A and B are shown apart, each in its own frame.
Chain A
Amino acid sequence: MYNKGTIIPGLIIFVLFVTFPIWFNGLSAAPAPKPEMPPGGEKKCVESAEYMRANHMQMLNDWRDNVLRDDNRTVVEVEGKKYRKGLQQACMQCHTNKEKFCDNCHTYAAVNPYCWDCHLTPKEAASKGGTR
């Protein structure tokens, strides 16, 4: 083999790059976090939990279009209780702790929804005395 001095370090760098997740995790990683269930004691979500886990972002996007573009502010009913279609007016009514619910998953999945640039988390809403 020629040019061992550059090729072997090069190969080592390559292998380190490819195996990055292995040595970075060090063969053990924190388990997936468990999002906190609604503290208000509600038992059901607007759809099945399985559906929500996979599709909630698309549902929110559809709802937003429904409300803001098509003026379709239909009400969703869960266990006899009515909620207005919306992020703060539905989701956050039950999932009152964004930090322990939404963020728990989102940090793990490395998503950072920009919704909260404008919408208020329940905590912020409480401190500002608003509802939305």
Chain B
Amino acid sequence: MPTDSTPTTEAATSTDPAPRIEFEDVEKKFGKTTVLKDLNFTIGRGERVTLIGPSGSGKTTILRLLMTLEDLTDGYIWVDGDPLTHDRRDGKRVELKPKQIAQVRKRIGMVFQQFNLFPNMSVLDNITEAPIHVLGQSKDEAKENALTLLDRVGLRNRADAHPTQLSGGQQQRVAIARALAMDPEILLLDEVTSALDPELVGDVLGVLEDVAETTDITMLIVTHEMQFARDVSQRVMMFDGGQIVEEAPPEEMFTRPKNERTQKFLEAII
């Protein structure tokens, strides 16, 4: 669909910009199992969307496809109108070269359930590694940015610590700072509090609420924290079997779900 390369900067003022994210006829198979089929949706610029649905409904797969951690079996994913992994040329589906993929991928960041900090690096180095070696920032610049971000997640005094010396909640806040240091347009959050002890969840969600309030980063959130979803997202998409079965603003979705499967799912988790 979108083939012209519109400028990728904040385009709120430009006329009819391409959506930030578009899934077009996306299909994903693992071996012979089809996990996603004919999936179509768009996410607007700066929009924050929560994905809910039973385990195995394909939420993680959607995020991983966007992060290029999984190969798309068929279809297209567009980011600001640019092809992510496959382009359409003369009606044909063409795989992009790794260099081209890397260009678009830079606009996307992800925070994982298991944090995935680099244990061989200090907290500070975890955050500055990519800005220095991917964005070409100077060491000083990257360090200054990193310290500002650490301030924001309340961990400036742990800059020299190693990840193994931190609690899970602290590690996850560092992982958030690390993703933000790349100045992403899109942030993917996959059950970022699911691996945490309950008493540590609040701090992490607090940081994310702050990010949602103070930036216009487009966010795709998979979470079981319904209050959080309500607070930060403008739209909730309910998935089942790789399909969107219902979507609505959170108040509506959580108080008056229309679809029977949504009702059952929400009853089960609340």
Does A pair with B? no
